[in-house]
């Protein structure tokens, strides 16, 4: 069974550092990212791109059914990420292929535009992970 991701969660997963909106959200994200994607065989894990809430969103305090309480902002974030990563709902790819796509299509510094409005942007986790993916750290 593939993990389901909204487009912006590819970069969120790359930059995840154990912080989140709530304990339940953080625990779920850690299970998906640290145990699933960063663990043994993680690069082979299948991810399905979805256009609504996904497996990361399940315990999020902002989730409202299949949408987010901040859906207008999140949909814009998803649209920028989908365009940058050439993703569409229904696409299926491995985490390894996703990282290669991120490396090929998103340069360090691009997150200020792609992730505009994200409360986690200022923490620098995703930018640091992106730089590391590019071999810059």
Strands (E), 69-115: 92-94
Query: What gap in Å lies between CA 28 and CA 10, rounded to an integer?
Result: 15
Residue 47 pLDDT greater than 60, yes or no: yes
Which pTM value belongs to this model?
0.93
**Average pLDDT over every residue of 35-44:** 92
pLDDT digits (tens, 9 = 90+) for 102-135: 999 999 999 999 999 888 999 999 999 999 999 9
**Residue 4 is inside which H or E element, if any?**
strand 3-5
pLDDT at 71: 87
pLDDT at 136: 73
pLDDT digits (tens, 9 = 90+) for 60-83: 888 998 988 888 999 999 999 999
Does residue 68 contact residue 74 with C-beta atoms inside 8 Å?
Answer: yes
Q: Can you give the residue ranges of every domain in the chain?
A: 3-131
pLDDT interval class at 137 (50, 70, 90):
low
The DSSP 8-state label assigned to residue 110 in this structure reads T
């Amino acid at each position: 069974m593939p993990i389901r991701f909204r487009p912006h969660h590819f970069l969120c997963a790359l930059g995840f550092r154990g912080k989140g909106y709530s304990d339940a959200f953080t625990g779920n994200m850690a299970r998906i990212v640290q145990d699933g994607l960063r663990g043994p065989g993680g690069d082979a894990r299948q991810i399905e791109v979805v256009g609504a809430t996904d497996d990361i969103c399940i315990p999020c305090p902002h989730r409202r059914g299949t949408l987010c309480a901040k859906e207008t902002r999140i949909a814009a974030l998803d649209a920028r990420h989908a365009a940058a990563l050439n993703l569409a709902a229904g696409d299926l790819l491995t985490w390894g292929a996703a990282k290669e796509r991120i490396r090929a299509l998103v340069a360090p510094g691009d997150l200020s535009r792609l992730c505009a409005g994200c409360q986690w942007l200022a923490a620098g986790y995703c930018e640091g992970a992106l730089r590391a993916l590019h071999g810059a750290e």
